[in-house]
Amino acid sequence: MKRYEQLVELLATDIRNGRLAPGARLPSIRTITRQHGLSASTAFKAYERLEEKGLVRARPRSGYYVIGPPLQAPVSGAQPGREKRKPALVSSRLDVSELVFSVLDAAQQADIVPLGSAFPSPDLFPLQRLGKSLSRIAPRLHGHEMVAHLSQGHPALRQQIALRYLALGMAQPMDELVITNGALEGLNLCLSAVARPGDLVAVESPGFYGSLQALERLNMKALEIPVHPQDGLDLAALARALERHPVKACWFMTSFQNPTGASLSPEKKQALVALLAQRAIPLIEDDVYGELYAGERAPWPAKAWDREGLVMHCSSFSKTLAPGYRVGWVSPGRFGEQVARLKLMTNLSASLPAQLALADYLQHGGYDKHLRKLRHAMETRLAGLLAAIARHFPPGVRVTRPPGGYFVWVAFDAGFDALALHAAALARGISVAPGPVFSARRDFRHCLRLNGGHAWDDRLEDAVRTLGALARLQPPYAQAP
């Protein structure tokens, strides 16, 4: 490790452990060079690296000041095993639903600017072309077909999904797939197949609130594993957690994670699968954003490295094609029989007309062409949101720039209250998703998630300007009278 990296690690550890509190002034360059026997250029490089990580901020003619750990997550670039933060066991019954429902209800109102919504704009989806597919298949529906493929789903759709796995470079027999009412039902079925009330399930922090609600409903317990906003799930923290706690299953989003947008690298996905295979722990992989990548190639899910049948891969068409059709699927690995039976006991089947319409569209409607347009639109819209945040939010606010998906994770300085911002914004017709809804312990109070999947216009520009103004009225940004 280079000398400036050693200094970065030393100071970052002091910041994470609270020995250097937010607002504290770092030693001057002259002092740090004298104390550590470094050159001034090395000291400057270390401080600049800390600033890049979002840990400190330079003030003109004043020096460098601590602004706290970024997004309550391990520092980017920290060496594996050095991060001291421990995942927190939530041993009591979860109670996140009321807070989540209040946020979701606000985001669904037609006159609200939907920056807190979980869905991209409806104008991105080929609804008229899907309607044609629905009209095409309607005359072919008959009594026997309506009941012949209830629990697993219609073979025509399962075949098309299997072909998409094959195009990705993964062999997935269609007979092993189970069609569900959206990905959320598939995720819940997988959870019920591998865990029981009272069991401990590892989830991400911050993480998808749907996983917390599922655990709450099934009276299970959550073990929160930290997620870095750039690097994704902290595998070292997960390894420590598995050594200390009887984890029955993991529920993770490995690509374009909600809410941070972070992705695990291929090497980390492979390491995650290997780590869980050592203990035969199932992984419920939520991959609903996998097709919304910004690069040249789709990222492989963790399922691609599964050799033991322990990864239960879940996805849907809700974020890419047809939100209202509510059609998803599960590749359940060794748990296929349990998932299919639970599906049969829960609601028999996903809508057969919706399944056949989607199968027809996948075969004849130009899905890949649509996806290319969709990805380009997402990138453009996300860029518009990021530029507006840079124009209107307080200086120094930390913002993710995800390589896919359409969410932006924003972290204000310590002491900021995103719930208060949510309430103030809602009173002005703007929804946001405050950080506490993404944590079983209601952490991340200084963070919020914004939706970048809507066409940029004056209304959205005004909404971001208003959010920035409201943020500046709150501590720690409000100026003393």
Second CATH level (architecture) for the domain 3-68 = Orthogonal Bundle (1.10)
- CA within 13 Å, CB half, 174: 12
Closest-CA residue to 113 (of 438, 427, 389): 427
Query: What residue type is assigned to position 74 of the chain?
Result: P
pLDDT tier at 18, thresholds 50, 70, 90: low
- Over residues 198-249, the pLDDT tens digits come to 999 999 999 999 999 999 999 999 999 999 998 999 999 999 999 999 999 9
Exposed/middle/buried for residue 371 (C-beta within 10 Å: 0-12, 13-18, 19+):
middle
- Over residues 364-399, the pLDDT tens digits come to 989 999 999 999 999 999 999 999 999 999 998 999
CATH of 132-366, one of 3.40.50.2300, 3.40.50.1820, 3.90.550.10, 3.40.640.10: 3.40.640.10
Q: Are 390 and 190 within 8 A, CB to CB?
A: no
Alpha carbons 86 and 70: distance in angstroms, whole number = 16
Residue with tokens 């920035």: 468
Q: Are 216 and 240 within 8 A, CB to CB?
A: no
pLDDT tier at 60, thresholds 50, 70, 90: low
Structure tokens given for 243: 């050594």
Query: What residues does each domain of the chain span?
Result: 3-68, 94-123+369-472, 132-366
Q: Are 259 and 449 within 8 A, CB to CB?
A: yes
pTM across the whole model: 0.79
3-class SS at 432? Answer: coil
Which helix (H) or strand (E) segment is 407 a member of? strand 407-411
> What is the mean predicted confidence (pLDDT) over 282-311?
95
Q: Are 435 and 446 within 8 A, CB to CB?
A: yes
**Signed CA dihedral, 285, 288, 290, 291: sign only:** positive
Q: Are strands 247-252 and 447-451 parallel, antiparallel or unpaired?
A: unpaired
pLDDT given for residue 247 in this prediction: 96
DSSP type of residue 394: P
3-class SS at 206? Answer: coil
Burial 238-270 (b: 16+ CB within 10 A, else e): bbbbbeeeebbbbbbbbbbbbbbbbbbeeebbb
pLDDT given for residue 33 in this prediction: 77
Q: Which position has the higher pLDDT, 7 or 192?
A: 192
Alpha carbons 215 and 78: distance in angstroms, whole number = 31
Q: Which of 109-118, 418-427, 472-481 has the lowest mean pLDDT?
A: 472-481
pLDDT given for residue 122 in this prediction: 87
pLDDT tier at 108, thresholds 50, 70, 90: low
Second CATH level (architecture) for the domain 94-123+369-472 = Alpha-Beta Complex (3.90)
Alpha carbons 281 and 277: distance in angstroms, whole number = 6
> What is the mean predicted confidence (pLDDT) over 82-92?
43
- Over residues 159-189, the pLDDT tens digits come to 999 999 999 999 999 999 999 999 999 999 9
- What is the percent of the chain with per-residue pLDDT over 90, rounded to a whole number? 61
- Over residues 303-313, the pLDDT tens digits come to 999 999 999 99
pLDDT given for residue 215 in this prediction: 94
Closest-CA residue to 396 (of 109, 8, 149, 65): 65
Residue with tokens 């124009």: 391
Assess whether the previous peptide bond of 299 is cis (omega < 30° from 0): no
Structure tokens given for 450: 């914004």
Alpha carbons 290 and 125: distance in angstroms, whole number = 17
Q: CB within 8 A of 294, min separation 6: which ones?
A: 375, 378, 379, 402, 403, 404
pLDDT tier at 61, thresholds 50, 70, 90: low
pLDDT tier at 290, thresholds 50, 70, 90: very high
pLDDT given for residue 11 in this prediction: 83
The size of the chain, in residues, is 481
